Amino acid sequence: MSRRRFSPNPASARHCLFIGMLLVIIARDNFFTVQALIHTPPPLTDAPVTDVSLTDRLMSLADGRRGLVGVITEIGAAQTTPGAINADELERRLLEMGFVEGARVEILHEGFIGRDPICVRLDDMRVALRRREARGVILRVEQGA
């Protein structure tokens, strides 16, 4: 019985891994995008920026979408979420990173899977954080949602 000498091409195996990974990423990305399209209400594009109902609204940074601008009114009232560090420790870490009352926040970017984590402009810095950690950051909305 003759056996052909097997010479594997490690490059092709690696290429397969990369392409596979990319496909998984794209699939997951699209899944969440489609899900978001189905579940999110139509965007409030018609509402002027100065609309009182918008500017006076308080919301958690965790619920914001890209383009949201606001001023922090409160940090840390959120209860400890399962699997996260305790609320007091998280509050201090947020404060140390510059998330303090009065600081201006804008959501610049969202992660490509489930829109998480988010990248925000925080005064003149840029900070990345997960939505889970952003839960306790309460904003007075100035623009966006």
Partner 1 sequence: MTAAVTAPQTPDLAPPPPSGAALRVALVGNPNAGKTALFNALTGSRQKVANYAGVTVERKEGQLVAADGRRMVILDLPGTYSLRARSPDEVITRDAVLGRLAGEVPPDVVICVADATNLRLVLRLALELKAVGRPAVLALNMIDIAERQGLEIDADRLSADLGMPVIGTVATRRRGIADLVSAVEDRARDGGVNLGEHGWTEPSAAEIRALHREAERILKAAVRPPKRPDTWTGRLDDVLLHPVAGVLILLAVLFLMFQAVFTGAKPVMDLITAGFDLLSGAVAQTLPDGLLKSLICQGIIAGVGQVVVFLPQILILFLFIILLEDVGYMARAAFLLDRIMGGAGLHGRAFIPLLSSFACAIPGIMATRVIDNRRDRLTTILVAPLMTCSARIPVYTLIISAFIPARTVLGGLSLQGLVFFSLYALGMVSALAVAWVVRKVFWRSAAEPFLMELPSYKVPDPANVLRSVALRGQIFLQRAGTTILSMMILIWFLCTIPGKPAGAAGPAIDYSFAGHIGHLIEPVLAPIGFSWQMSVALIPGMAAREVAVGALGTVYAVSGGEEATNLLGASLAHQWSLASALAFLAWYVFAPQCASTLSVVKRETNSWRWPIIMFAYMTALAYAAAFITYRVAVGLGAG
Residues that bind partner 1 (CB under 8 A): 3-8, 10-14, 16-18, 21-22, 25, 29, 76, 83-86, 88, 90-98, 100-101, 108-114, 116-117, 119, 123-130, 132-133
Quote the least distance from Cβ 122 to partner 1, whole Å: 9
Quote the least distance from Cβ 55 to partner 1, whole Å: 24
Closest CB to partner 1 among residues 94, 141: 94
Closest CB to partner 1 among residues 46, 124: 124
Quote the least distance from Cβ 120 to partner 1, whole Å: 9
Can you tell me which residue has the tokens 């949602």?
Answer: 145
List, in sequence order, the alpha helices (H) in 1-145.
10-39, 52-55, 87-96, 131-134
Closest CB to partner 1 among residues 29, 69: 29
Per the DSSP assignment, residues forming a β-bridge with 107 are 120
Q: Cα–chain-centroid distance for residue 85?
A: 19
Quote the least distance from Cβ 56 to partner 1, whole Å: 24
Closest CB to partner 1 among residues 58, 97: 97
Q: For residue 37, what are the CA distances in angstroms to 21, 33, 139?
A: 24, 6, 25
Query: What tokens were used for 42?
Result: 């139509």
List, in sequence order, the alpha helices (H) in 40-55.
52-55
